[in-house]
A and B are shown apart, each in its own frame.
Chain A
Amino acid sequence: MIPQTPETTTGHGDISTGVAAPTAGGDSNASATRITPGNALRPEDIALEVRTGLTKPSEDIAEYALRLGDDALILAQRLGHWISRAPELEEDVALGNIALDQLGHARSFLSYAGGAWDKSEDDLAYFRREHEFRSVQLFEQPNDDFAVTIARQFIVSYYQFELYRRLTESTDATIAAIAAKAVKEVDYHRDHSAQWILRLAGGTEESRRRMIHGLRLMWPYVNELFQDDELAQRLAEAGAAVAPSSLREDFDRLTGEVLAEAELEVPDVPAAPGGGRHGRHSEHLGYLLAEMQVLAREHPGAKW
C-alpha cells in the first residue's frame, strides 16, 4: 500500500476515479485505485484485505460477487481448452489472454466473496458442487467450433462490458475496484469478438453458415443474463449492484449494430428458462467441474 499524501490526491480527498466516459474503457488511472493506488488490483490484494479484516462483504454482496466470479471462472475454464488447439497461433494467444483475464476477474470476485464465509478462492472453486455454482448457463455452454466460441464470447463481452462499466460506480468499493480493472480488459474482448463476427459472417459461405449456427445455438441463453431477482434488486436499490434488466437495452443496441454490419439477423430463437443464479444448470457443468476439481479433491487440504 502506498500511503496517499495530500499532493497525490486531487483535492477531493477521494482517490477513486472510476471510469469516466460511458463508451470508453476507462482512463489509465481507473484501475483499482480505490484499493491499491498506483498498482493493478490483484486477487492476492483482495484476499489479504479480507484476511486482515480490512474489508468484509455482507452476505448479499458475497452472494453477488460469487455470481460474477462463477461466470468468469466457468468461461475461463472453457476458453483455456483452446490453448494449443486454436485455428491460428495468434488465436491461441488471443483466446488464452481472454481466458487469463476472466480467470483474474474470477479470482478477485471469489476471494472477496469468500470473505463472508471464511473461505478462499480455491475453497469456492474446487470444493463446491454443481448446484452450488451461481453462474448463468451461457458460460458453461461447450466450445464447439470456433464460431460457437466466438458467438458465446460476443454475447459475454458485450454483457460484461455494460455490467462492469456500471459497477465501477458501485457503493461497494471492492466491487467497484474489480469492475474498474475488468471493464478495460473486457473492452478488448468486445473488440476481438466483434471483429471475428464480421470476418466469419463476411468471409466464406461456410464461415457465414457456421457463424449463423453459432449465434442460434447461444442466443437461447441471452435472456437469462438479464433476469432480475430479489438479491439483484435489493443490491441495485442500495447502489451496490446493477439490476440485470437495466443492461438489456444497451446490450441489444450495441450487439445489434455489430450484427447489422455483419448483415446478420438477431437470432429468432426461443429463450431457455435459465436458473443458473439459483444453482440450476445445464447438463454440461457437471463434466466441466469434474475435470476442473479432480486433482484438488484427490488431495484435500494440500497446498499447491
Chain B
Amino acid sequence: MAAQNLQSVPAEPTPREQDPAEQARIAAQEADGQASFDRVMAEDSRIEPKDWMPAPYRKTLLRQISQHAHSEIIGMQPEANWISRAPSLKRKAILMAKVQDEAGHGLYLYSAAETLGQSRDKMMEDLIAGKARYSSIFNYPALTWADMGAIGWLVDGAAICNQVPLCRASYGPYGRAMVRICKEESFHQRQGFEILLELSNGTPAQKQMAQDAVNRWYAPSLMMFGPPDDDSPNSKQSMAWNIKRFSNDELRSRFVGMMVEQVRVLGLTLPDDQIRFNEDTKKWEHGPLDWREFQEVLAGRGPCNSQRLERRRSAHDDGAWVREAAAAYADKQRAKQSMKTKEYAA
C-alpha cells in the first residue's frame, strides 16, 4: 500500500508571485543549482533526490524510469502466460520466481521514480490510460514454451546490455536500483539459455520449438536498443547528462557479438545471414531491421498491445476495492491509535 500516502513533490518549481525581489532570489538559487549540477556532471558523480536539477533532466529521468518500471510490469504477462503450463515442476518454480522478480523490479523502479516527484498511482494511471510507454518487445506473443527460453536469453540479454551501463547513471536512486536489477537479470538470462539448451538437446520437436522461438524473438530483441543513432533525437542529451553511456548502435553491436558466440553453444542459429565482424570498425554488424514494424508496434499496432493494456487495466480495476479496503482499514487503525494517545494524554 506504499503509494497511497505519498507526499507528492511538484515535478517543476511552481511559479511564485511576480515580485521582482523574489524572482531575483529564485534566479540566484537557480544559478547556484545549475553550477553545482554542472560540477556533478563534470566530475561524473551523482545527483540525489534533494539536489537541485534542471527541469528537463528531471523530466527525462522520470520518463525513462517510469517507462522502465512499466516494462517490468507489462513484461510479466508473456511469461505469466506459461506458469500454469510449465512442463516440469522445477521449471514452473523457476518461472514463477522469475516473474515475481519482475514485479520486484517494477517496485524498485517505481520507488526510484517517486523520488522525482510523481506518485506510483499517477504512473499506473498513465500506463492504463495508454499515455505512458513500455518496451515494445512485450507486445509480441509468447506462443510456445521455448519462448520462455528465448525471452530469457535474447530479451533479458538485450536488457542487460542496456542496463549494466545504467548502474553508473548520474541519478543515484536509478543507478542503485539498476545494480540489484542487473544481478537478477543475469540470472534470468542464464535460465533462458538453459531452457533453450535443454530443448536444443531434446527431441526433434523440442529443438524445432527452440529454433522457432529464437527466429521470432531475434529481430525484436535487437530493436530493444532503440532506433539507429542517426534517428535517436534524445540520446545525445541523455549521454551529456551521464544517464546513457553508450549509443543505441554501439550497444546493439555488442549484443550481436555476444549472441553470435552463445548461439553456437546452443546448437541453434540466428535468423540473420549478414552478421559479421567488421575488422575496420572492430564492431559487429547485422542485417537490416524492419524499423517500420518497430514504429507500428510503438504506435500501438503490435500483436498484443491491446491485450497487454487490458490485462493491466482489469487487474487494476478488479483490485480497486481491495486497495480501498486496505486504505480505509489503515485510516481506522490510525484514528484508533490517535484516540488512545489522546486518552493517555488526558
Q: Which 3 A-B pairs have the closest CB atoms?
A: A87-B319, A203-B325, A207-B325
Which residues of the partner chain B approach A122 to less than 8 Å between Cβ atoms? 88-89
In whole angstroms, what is the CA distance A210 to B96 when docked? 28
List, in ascending order, chain B residues with CB within 8 A of A206's CB. 321, 324-325
Inter-chain contacts of A291 with B (CB < 8 A): 84-85
B76:A92 contact, CB within 8 angstroms:
yes
Contact with B along A274-304 (1 / 0, CB 8 A): 0000000000000000011011100101111
Main secondary structure of the interface of A (DSSP, over half): helix
* A-facing residues in B302-331 (Cβ within 8 Å): 311, 314-315, 318-329
Cβ-closest chain A residue relative to B330: A199
Interface secondary structure of B, over-half rule: helix
CB nearest to A103 among chain B residues: B93
The segment out of A21-29, A76-84, A186-194, A264-272 that lies at the interface is A76-84
Number of residues of chain A lying within 8 A (CB) of chain B: 51
The answer to whether B100 has its CB under 8 Å from any CB of chain A is yes
Identify the closest chain A residue to B73 (Cβ). Answer: A89
Given the interface pairs A80-B83, A295-B85, A303-B202, the reply to whether A202 lies near B332 with Cβ below 8 Å is yes
Inside 8 A of B77's CB, which chain A residues have their CB? 84
* Minimum distance in angstroms from A284 CB to a CB of chain B: 14
Q: Verify if A57 is at the interface (C-beta below 8 Å from B).
A: no
A89 touches B322 (CB 8 A): no
Assess the A296–B88 pair: CB atoms within 8 A. Answer: yes
Q: In the assembly, what is the distance between CA of A73 and CA of B107, in Å?
A: 28
User: How many Å lie between the Cα of A89 and that of B332 in the bound state?
Assistant: 23
Residues of A within 8 A of B274 (CB): none
Query: Which chain B residues border A299 with CB–CB below 8 Å?
Result: 87, 203, 205-206
A203 to B325, CA, bound (A): 4
Given contact pairs A145-B318, A199-B325, A203-B328, A89 touches B107 in the complex (Cβ within 8 A): yes
Which residues of B does A touch, CB under 8 Å? 1-2, 73, 76-77, 80, 83-93, 96-97, 99-100, 103-104, 106-107, 110, 145, 195, 198-199, 202-203, 205-206, 311, 314-315, 318-329, 332
Chain A residues lying within 8 Å of B107, measured Cβ to Cβ, are 89-90, 93
**B248 smallest CB distance to A (angstroms):** 29
Q: Which of A210-250 contact B (CB under 8 A)?
A: 210
Bound complex: CA A85 to CA B313 (Å)? 10
| Bound Cα distance A198, B332 (Å) | 12
Given contacts A299-B87, A299-B205, A304-B88, contact A84 B325 (CB under 8 A): no
Contact B73 A100 (CB under 8 A): no
Closest to B80 in A: A84
Please report the C-alpha to C-alpha distance between residue A146 and residue B317 in the assembled complex, in whole angstroms: 12
Q: Give the chain B neighbours of A89 by CB distance below 8 A.
A: 73, 103, 106-107, 110
Q: B205 to chain A: which residues have CB within 8 Å?
A: 299, 302
Q: Which residues on the A side are within 8 Å of B145 (C-beta)?
A: 295, 304
Could you pull out 24 A-B pairs where Cβ atoms are within 8 angstroms? Answer: A43-B90, A80-B96, A83-B83, A84-B80, A87-B323, A88-B1, A89-B110, A91-B322, A96-B99, A99-B96, A100-B97, A107-B89, A110-B89, A199-B325, A200-B329, A204-B324, A204-B325, A207-B328, A291-B84, A291-B85, A299-B87, A299-B203, A304-B195, A304-B198
